[in-house]
Amino acid sequence: MSLNVDLLLTGGKIHTGTKSTAPVEAIAVKNGRIFAVGKTDELGGVNAKTRINLEGKTLIPGLIDAHNHLSYYSMLLRLLDCRTPLHGEVAELLEKIQREVKQSEPGKLIRGWGFAEYKIRDRRYPTLAEMDEAAPNNPVIITHASGHSAVTNSLMLKQMKIDSQTPDPKGGKIERDPQTNEPTGVLHDAAMFQYSLEALIMEFGALSLEERIVVLEQGAEDYARLGITTVGDPGTLPSQLSAYQEAARSKRLKCRVSAFPFYEMSKPFLDSGLRTGFGTDMFKIGPIKLIGDGSLSGRTAAVSQPYQNTDSLGLLYRDQEALDKIVAELDALGQQIAIHAIGDRAVEQVLLAYEKVIGKGNPNTRRHRMEHAGIVNPQLLQLMKGIDLVIATQPRMLYEQGDGFYRSCGEERIHSVYPYKTYIEMGLHVAGSSDCPVTNPNPLLGMRDGILRQTEEGLTLAPEQKLSVEQVFHMFTWDAAYSLFDENDKGTLEEGKFADMLVLSEDPFTLPAEKWESQLKVEKTIVGGEVVYSKD
């Protein structure tokens, strides 16, 4: 009796991601899952609807981005791209704005994203006068690469009703001229909330359902090209949930999505009785997402020691009592929680809140997560270990924002910034991610940066924390799956798991990480046994 399968892959190197040392030469797929894993002489004779000869290339498990704003990234594709190269000039940003002004009616709002003052040669934001000269008749707001700051012109400040008498909002800061108290146009966190990531997603909700699906399709196509087969989208709102659900139902998503409802908008969802894990193979509900502090590169993350050459300690969104109450309520409902915490003050606050519901030394059965976990100390590390913490973090930040980290933290403190190797060696579950659009979503670059820990300017940050190839692959496969309660379906190439796989041009386990950007390419992305991207 012959064996019938949908897909058979042979003829290349296969890394299953398991601890097994048995050689694997072929993988058979049936009904979207891996049917068999073995040698060519065992599986080569099966009847397969489709056969893929790897031609010596490398097959690995699909890569999982455990913290990635797919819906936000998809919306940003509609805005002005204001990313600047290393050692760029403010003039380059102003020229982009001027070109956009020429194509816009007077009075039309101009929105951009991706600017980072730490990449500018003289490391500054444009002045209010420069922004006004670039756009004298259009309100302009450009969101920082971190998503936690923005720069505006005077018309935009007027539209936002911000002047010298406007107080700093709770959880936010309006930068001011020290002589006149007039705003400089630079806003942080809650001060620019209405034009933040969350606000852009509210605009997403104003689109028709079909328009929302098209937006998601465009972003997911990019991700398929990069080899991302699953994303965790933190901070999702009801309009995103419905669009994701319909896009998945109509088979218009090229990656699987785990959506994290944004806490401030989650009451209807929680009142419905739905919880983490509800959904389908392509779309389901993940943890509830909260914000704990700001960003490290923007110097708004809550730290215990002032940033270099300042007296600033960053911003906490809540006090301990308020966070404890929220965590206790969500945990009692059986809901997984994911809290953004970068600075050590925020990290400590989250750990103390989690410890109250998990109990010191107990397993973290709800898999409560910390997003980022940027700055720690030995005491915080012990707290992390004591509650079996799950961490979702972003090695790509070391390259794209690491120079800003170094200037913010200094030589001594940089060794406590994103200590991935320490986290892993302590037995914590460390999930790889990008926080796109804060950084480039390419997971191969993110893994490379976990290995090299080099910044764009060429610094090596805390070299003792460099990871091995095996460690970074585990972050972006099995541990990322674990952080989403998906390890039984994803993260390795084993019988019964989803047939989510990548064909790579080279073998990353033998190709030096320094050559990945130029030589390591995604040839095919396979989700559920279907080729959703092919280089050919």
The Cα 499–Cα 490 span in angstroms is: 8
- Per-residue confidence (pLDDT) for residue 411, from 0 to 100: 94
- Per-residue confidence (pLDDT) for residue 438, from 0 to 100: 86
Mean pLDDT of 239-261: 94
- Per-residue confidence (pLDDT) for residue 1, from 0 to 100: 40
Strands 337-341 and 47-53, by their bridges, are unpaired
- Per-residue confidence (pLDDT) for residue 334, from 0 to 100: 95
The Cα 136–Cα 508 span in angstroms is: 51
In degrees and rounded to multiples of 5, residue 396 shows phi and psi of -60, -25
pLDDT exceeds 90 at position 193: no
- Per-residue confidence (pLDDT) for residue 194, from 0 to 100: 83
Q: What is the pLDDT of the chain when averaged over all its residues?
A: 94
- Per-residue confidence (pLDDT) for residue 198, from 0 to 100: 65
Q: Could you please state the CATH topology (level 3) that the domain comprising 4-62+497-534 is classified under.
A: Urease, subunit C; domain 1 (2.30.40)
DSSP per position, 476-491: IIIIHHHHTT-TTTSS
Mean pLDDT of 182-190: 95
Task: Please write the tens of the pLDDT for every residue from 296-318.
Answer: 988 999 999 999 999 999 999 99
Q: Of 445, 440, 436, 427, which is closest to residue 391 (Cα–Cα)?
A: 427
The Cα 43–Cα 191 span in angstroms is: 60
Mean pLDDT of 153-165: 96
Q: Which of 86-95, 201-210, 259-268, 509-518 has the highest mean pLDDT?
A: 509-518
Angle formed at CA 488 by CA 482 and CA 492, multiple of 5 degrees: 80
Specify the CATH superfamily of domain 65-70+199-483: Metal-dependent hydrolases (3.20.20.140)
Mean pLDDT of 63-90: 91
Per-residue confidence band for 42, with pLDDT thresholds at 50, 70 and 90: confident
Percent of the chain with pLDDT over 90: 83
DSSP H helices in 119-194: 128-134, 154-159
Q: What are the domain boundaries of the chain? A: 4-62+497-534, 65-70+199-483, 84-144+149-195
Mean pLDDT of 379-389: 97
How many beta carbons lie within 10 A of that of residue 56, not counting itself? Answer: 11
Task: Please write the tens of the pLDDT for every residue from 276-291.
Answer: 999 999 999 999 999 9
Domains 4-62+497-534 and 65-70+199-483 belong to one CATH topology: no
pLDDT exceeds 80 at position 121: yes
Asked which of 57-71, 189-203, 295-309, 330-344 is least confident by mean pLDDT, the reply is: 189-203
The Cα 339–Cα 494 span in angstroms is: 32
User: Does pTM top 0.75 for this prediction?
Assistant: yes
